[in-house]
Structure 1
Amino acid sequence: MEKIMRLTNAPAWHGFKRYAAVTLPLVLLAACSTTETIPPGIVKPATPVTPPPAAVVVPPQQAELKSLIALQDRLYDVAAPLLVNNALLCRNNARNLLGFTAKTKYSFTAEFIAAASSLGLTDQLQITGVLAGSGAAKVGLQRGDLLVAIQDKPVPVGADAERQTALMLGPLVNGRNNIKVTVARNGGNQTMNVPLTRACAFGIELGNTDNVISYADGRRVLVSAGMMKFTQNDDELALVIAKEMAHNSLTHASRQRNTATMTGVIDNLIRLRPDTTSLSGAAGVKPYPQQLDGAADKLSLYMVARAGYKVDNAAAFWQRLATQYPATVLNGYTAIHPATDYRISAIQQAVADIQAKQASGAVIQP
Structure 2
Amino acid sequence: MNMTNKFGTFSLALAAAAAAALTGCSTFQSQPAAPEPAPAVVSSVTEAPPVVTARMAAARQQLSQMVALQDRLYRVAGPLLINNADLCRNQARNLLGFTAKNKYSYSGEFVDAAQAVLNYGDRLEVASVLAGSGAARVGLRKGDVLVAADGKLLPVGANAETEAAAVLGPLVAANRVLNLTVSRGGSNQQLRVPVTRACAFKIDIGNADNINAYSDGQRVMITRGMVNFAQSDDAIAYVLAKDIAHNVLGHAATTKQAYTVGSIIDNLVAVRPDLSMLIGTAGVKPMPQELDGAADNLSLYMVARAGYSVEGARAFWQRLATQYPASVLNGYTANHPAVAYRLGVIDKTVSAIRSKQSSKQPLVP
TM-score, length basis structure 1: 0.85
Task: Provide the residue aligned with 2:329 in structure 1.
Answer: 330
Q: Residue 285 of structure 1: CA displacement?
A: 1.0
Contact 2:13 2:96 in 1 (8 A): no
For 1:153, the aligned partner's letter is K
Contact 2:23 2:201 in 1 (8 A): no
Task: Provide the residue aligned with 1:178 in structure 2.
Answer: 177
Q: Residue 10 of structure 1: CA displacement?
A: 6.4
1: CA distance, partners of 2:12 / 2:257:
23
Task: Provide the residue aligned with 2:9 in structure 1.
Answer: 4
2: CA distance, partners of 1:76 / 1:205:
9
Task: Provide the residue aligned with 2:93 in structure 1.
Answer: 95
Task: Provide the residue aligned with 1:319 in structure 2.
Answer: 318
Q: Residue 329 of structure 1: CA displacement?
A: 1.2
Contact 2:14 2:96 in 1 (8 A): no
1: CA distance, partners of 2:152 / 2:181:
9
1: CA distance, partners of 2:96 / 2:177:
8
Backbone CA RMSD of aligned residues: 1.7
Give % identity.
Answer: 55
Contact 2:144 2:184 in 1 (8 A): yes
Alignment match of 1:110 (pick from 108, 111, 115): 108
Q: Residue 192 of structure 1: CA displacement?
A: 1.3
Map residues 43-62 of structure 1 onto 2, 5 A cutoff.
Answer: 59-62=57-60
Q: Could you tell me which runs of 5 or more consecutive residues in structure 1 were left unpaired when the two chains were aligned.
A: 15-56
Alignment match of 2:74 (pick from 73, 76, 91): 76
Task: Provide the residue aligned with 2:190 in structure 1.
Answer: 191
2: CA distance, partners of 1:215 / 1:13:
15
SS at structure 2 position matched to 1:282: helix
2: CA distance, partners of 1:130 / 1:174:
19
Q: Residue 153 of structure 1: CA displacement?
A: 0.8
2: CA distance, partners of 1:313 / 1:158:
46
Task: Answer yes or no: is 1:233 the counterpart of 2:238.
Answer: no
2: CA distance, partners of 1:310 / 1:356:
14
**79 and 65 in structure 1: CA distance in 2 versus 1, 3 angstrom threshold:** same
1: CA distance, partners of 2:317 / 2:223:
16
1: CA distance, partners of 2:206 / 2:15:
19
2: CA distance, partners of 1:211 / 1:289:
22
SS at structure 2 position matched to 1:283: helix
**320 and 7 in structure 1: CA distance in 2 versus 1, 3 angstrom threshold:** farther
Contact 1:123 1:159 in 2 (8 A): yes
2: CA distance, partners of 1:102 / 1:289:
38
Contact 1:103 1:128 in 2 (8 A): yes
Contact 1:10 1:166 in 2 (8 A): no
Task: Provide the residue aligned with 2:284 in structure 1.
Answer: 285
Map residues 147-162 of structure 1 onto 2, 5 A cutoff.
Answer: 147-162=146-161
Task: Provide the residue aligned with 1:351 in structure 2.
Answer: 350
Q: Residue 175 of structure 1: CA displacement?
A: 3.2
Show CA shifts across 1:35-90 (max 9, x none). Answer: xxxxxxxxxxxxxxxxxxxxxx9922211110010010111111011011000111
**5 and 336 in structure 1: CA distance in 2 versus 1, 3 angstrom threshold:** same
For 1:291, the aligned partner's letter is E
2: CA distance, partners of 1:7 / 1:261:
27
2: CA distance, partners of 1:151 / 1:78:
30
Contact 2:15 2:94 in 1 (8 A): no
For 2:235, the aligned partner's letter is E
Task: Answer yes or no: is 1:224 the counterpart of 2:223.
Answer: yes
Q: Could you tell me which runs of 5 or more consecutive residues in structure 2 were left unpaired when the two chains were aligned.
A: 17-21, 25-53
Q: Residue 138 of structure 1: CA displacement?
A: 1.0
Task: Provide the residue aligned with 2:247 in structure 1.
Answer: 248
Show CA shifts across 1:257-280 (max 9, x none). Answer: 111111111100111111111111
2: CA distance, partners of 1:92 / 1:332:
31
Show CA shifts across 1:144-177 (max 9, x none). Answer: 1100001111111011111221232222222321
2: CA distance, partners of 1:161 / 1:306:
36
1: CA distance, partners of 2:9 / 2:233:
25
Show CA shifts across 1:186-211 (max 9, x none). Answer: 11111111100000110000100000
1: CA distance, partners of 2:143 / 2:248:
33
2: CA distance, partners of 1:246 / 1:136:
25
- What is the count of residue pairs matched by the alignment? 324
1: CA distance, partners of 2:279 / 2:303:
32
For 1:247, the aligned partner's letter is H
